[in-house]
Amino acid sequence: MKRLSVTAFAALCLTAGATYAQTNNDEAAQACQSTGLLALQEKSSAITDLVLDMETLAVSSADTKVENVAVKTVVMGDAYIARGGETGKPDRFVCLLGEEGKVLLTFFTAQ
Protein backbone atom coordinates (compact mmCIF):
# COMPACT_ATOMS: atom_id res chain seq x y z
CA MET A 1 0.00 0.00 0.00
CA LYS A 2 1.32 3.44 -0.83
CA ARG A 3 2.22 5.84 1.93
CA LEU A 4 -0.74 7.34 3.66
CA SER A 5 -0.72 11.09 3.11
CA VAL A 6 -1.19 13.40 6.07
CA THR A 7 -4.36 14.80 4.50
CA ALA A 8 -5.82 11.34 3.88
CA PHE A 9 -4.95 10.26 7.42
CA ALA A 10 -6.54 13.38 8.91
CA ALA A 11 -9.71 12.82 6.87
CA LEU A 12 -9.74 9.19 7.97
CA CYS A 13 -9.50 10.16 11.64
CA LEU A 14 -12.28 12.71 11.28
CA THR A 15 -14.66 10.18 9.70
CA ALA A 16 -13.97 7.44 12.25
CA GLY A 17 -16.38 6.94 15.15
CA ALA A 18 -14.41 6.34 18.35
CA THR A 19 -14.98 3.42 20.67
CA TYR A 20 -12.61 2.05 23.25
CA ALA A 21 -11.28 -1.45 23.75
CA GLN A 22 -12.33 -2.84 27.11
CA THR A 23 -10.53 -6.18 27.20
CA ASN A 24 -7.60 -8.01 25.69
CA ASN A 25 -10.14 -10.03 23.67
CA ASP A 26 -10.86 -7.27 21.15
CA GLU A 27 -10.37 -8.89 17.72
CA ALA A 28 -9.06 -5.72 16.06
CA ALA A 29 -6.49 -5.18 18.82
CA GLN A 30 -5.41 -8.82 18.64
CA ALA A 31 -4.98 -8.60 14.86
CA CYS A 32 -2.89 -5.44 15.19
CA GLN A 33 -0.79 -6.93 17.99
CA SER A 34 0.05 -10.15 16.16
CA THR A 35 0.69 -8.49 12.79
CA GLY A 36 2.67 -5.67 14.39
CA LEU A 37 4.85 -8.13 16.28
CA LEU A 38 5.62 -10.07 13.11
CA ALA A 39 6.49 -6.87 11.23
CA LEU A 40 8.77 -5.68 14.03
CA GLN A 41 10.49 -9.06 14.28
CA GLU A 42 11.24 -8.95 10.55
CA LYS A 43 13.23 -5.77 11.20
CA SER A 44 14.91 -6.96 14.40
CA SER A 45 15.28 -10.48 15.75
CA ALA A 46 15.92 -8.99 19.22
CA ILE A 47 12.22 -8.10 19.56
CA THR A 48 10.50 -10.73 21.67
CA ASP A 49 7.04 -9.29 22.36
CA LEU A 50 4.62 -6.47 21.68
CA VAL A 51 2.23 -5.50 24.46
CA LEU A 52 -0.64 -3.11 23.73
CA ASP A 53 -1.61 -0.78 26.58
CA MET A 54 -5.34 -1.47 26.76
CA GLU A 55 -5.96 1.68 28.85
CA THR A 56 -4.75 3.91 26.00
CA LEU A 57 -6.25 1.89 23.17
CA ALA A 58 -8.86 3.55 20.94
CA VAL A 59 -10.65 1.33 18.41
CA SER A 60 -12.63 3.38 15.91
CA SER A 61 -14.96 2.12 13.23
CA ALA A 62 -14.50 3.77 9.85
CA ASP A 63 -16.21 3.71 6.50
CA THR A 64 -13.71 5.34 4.21
CA LYS A 65 -11.06 4.63 1.62
CA VAL A 66 -7.42 5.49 1.18
CA GLU A 67 -7.09 5.67 -2.57
CA ASN A 68 -9.05 2.54 -3.57
CA VAL A 69 -8.50 0.54 -0.35
CA ALA A 70 -11.42 0.32 2.08
CA VAL A 71 -10.59 1.10 5.71
CA LYS A 72 -13.10 -0.25 8.24
CA THR A 73 -11.29 0.08 11.60
CA VAL A 74 -8.56 2.29 13.06
CA VAL A 75 -6.73 1.22 16.22
CA MET A 76 -4.49 3.72 18.04
CA GLY A 77 -2.71 3.67 21.36
CA ASP A 78 0.49 2.94 23.22
CA ALA A 79 2.51 -0.23 22.82
CA TYR A 80 5.51 -1.61 24.63
CA ILE A 81 8.11 -3.32 22.48
CA ALA A 82 10.08 -5.97 24.38
CA ARG A 83 13.66 -6.66 23.41
CA GLY A 84 15.30 -9.57 25.17
CA GLY A 85 12.40 -9.73 27.61
CA GLU A 86 12.73 -6.08 28.72
CA THR A 87 10.43 -3.24 27.72
CA GLY A 88 11.28 0.41 27.49
CA LYS A 89 9.18 3.50 27.05
CA PRO A 90 5.87 3.14 25.22
CA ASP A 91 5.64 3.79 21.49
CA ARG A 92 2.51 5.22 19.84
CA PHE A 93 1.04 3.02 17.15
CA VAL A 94 -1.64 3.25 14.50
CA CYS A 95 -3.14 0.22 12.83
CA LEU A 96 -5.58 0.28 9.89
CA LEU A 97 -7.85 -2.68 9.20
CA GLY A 98 -9.83 -3.33 6.05
CA GLU A 99 -12.53 -5.74 5.04
CA GLU A 100 -12.96 -8.81 7.26
CA GLY A 101 -10.48 -7.43 9.83
CA LYS A 102 -7.45 -7.72 7.56
CA VAL A 103 -4.57 -5.56 8.80
CA LEU A 104 -3.58 -3.10 6.07
CA LEU A 105 -0.95 -1.05 7.85
CA THR A 106 0.68 -0.84 11.27
CA PHE A 107 3.27 1.74 12.22
CA PHE A 108 4.99 2.82 15.40
CA THR A 109 6.49 6.13 16.49
CA ALA A 110 8.77 6.67 19.48
CA GLN A 111 7.41 9.17 21.98
pTM: 0.74
Give CA–CA dist 52/69, Å, rounded.
Answer: 26
pLDDT (0 to 100) of residue 111? 59
Query: 80 phi and psi, to 5 degrees?
Result: -105, 125
Q: What is the pLDDT along the chain (111 residues), one digit of tens a residue?
A: 444 554 454 445 544 544 444 444 489 999 999 999 999 999 999 999 999 999 999 999 999 998 899 999 999 999 999 988 788 899 999 999 999 999 999 988 875
Q: Which of 85, 25, 80, 88 is CA-nearest to residue 56?
A: 80
Q: Which residues pair with 105 in a beta bridge?
A: 96
pLDDT (0 to 100) of residue 95? 95
Longest dimension (CA), the chain: 40
Which residues of the chain form beta strands (DSSP E)?
Answer: 17-20, 47-52, 58-66, 69-83, 86-87, 91-97, 103-110
pLDDT (0 to 100) of residue 23? 47
Q: Report the Cα–Cα distance between both ends of the chain, in Å, rounded.
A: 25
pLDDT (0 to 100) of residue 20? 47
